Amino acid sequence: MAVEDLEALETLQKDVPVSGDSALPRYVDEKIVRELHENGERITPFGAYYRREKGCKVLKAAVDGGFVCPNKDGRISKEGCLFCPKMGRTIITPNVDPRKKIEEQARQQMEVFRERYGAEKFLVYFYPATNTYAPPDVLEEMYNRALEMEDVVGLSIGTRPDCLPDEVLDLLEGYVKEGYDVWLEIGVQSYHHRTLRKCHRGHGLAEVIDAIVRAKERKIRIVNHIIFGLPGETRDEMLETVRVLSVLGVEAVKLYPLVVLERTDLQRLYESGRYKPLRYREYIRLLADALERMAPTVLIQRLSKDRAPDEERIEPKWDLYRMKVTTDVIRELARRESRQGARYKVGLTAEELTPLVKGATGAPT
CATH code of 118's domain = 3.80.30.30
Q: 72 in a domain, yes or no?
A: yes
Higher-pLDDT residue of 65, 92: 65
The more confidently predicted of residues 95 and 50 is: 50
Do the domain assignments include residue 365? no
Which residue in 60, 138, 121 sits closest to 95, CA to CA? 60
pLDDT value at position 9? 47
For residue 12, pLDDT beyond 60 = no
The contacts of residue 5 (CB under 8 Å, 6+ apart) are: none
Domain-located, residue 363: no
Q: How many domains does the chain have?
A: 1
Amino acid found at 120: E
Please report whether residue 359 resides in a domain: no
pLDDT at 89: 52
Range in 12-16, 17-21, 191-195, 335-339 with the lowest mean pLDDT: 12-16
Tell me the C-alpha distance between 310 and 294, whole Å. 31
Provide the residue range defining the domain that includes 336.
Answer: 3-353
Q: If you average pLDDT over residues 12-17, what whole number do you get?
A: 62
C-alpha distance from residue 250 to each of 28, 97, 288, 315, 344 (Å): 10, 30, 19, 30, 15
Q: Yes or no: say if 43 and 339 are a contact pair by the CB < 8 Å rule.
A: yes
Q: Identify whether 318 is part of a domain.
A: yes
For 191-224, b/e burial (b = at least 16 CB within 10 A) is bbeebbebbbbbbebebbbebbebbbebbbbbbb
Answer whether residue 364 is part of any domain. no
User: Does 294 reside within a domain?
Assistant: yes
The answer as to whether 358 is a domain residue is no
For residue 109, what are the β-bridge partners? none
d(CA 224, CA 215): 13
User: According to the model, what pLDDT value does residue 22 have?
Assistant: 85
| 3 band by pLDDT with thresholds 50, 70 and 90 | very low
Give per-residue pLDDT as tens, 312-340.
899 999 998 889 999 999 999 999 999 99
pLDDT band at 93 (very low <50, low <70, confident <90, very high): low
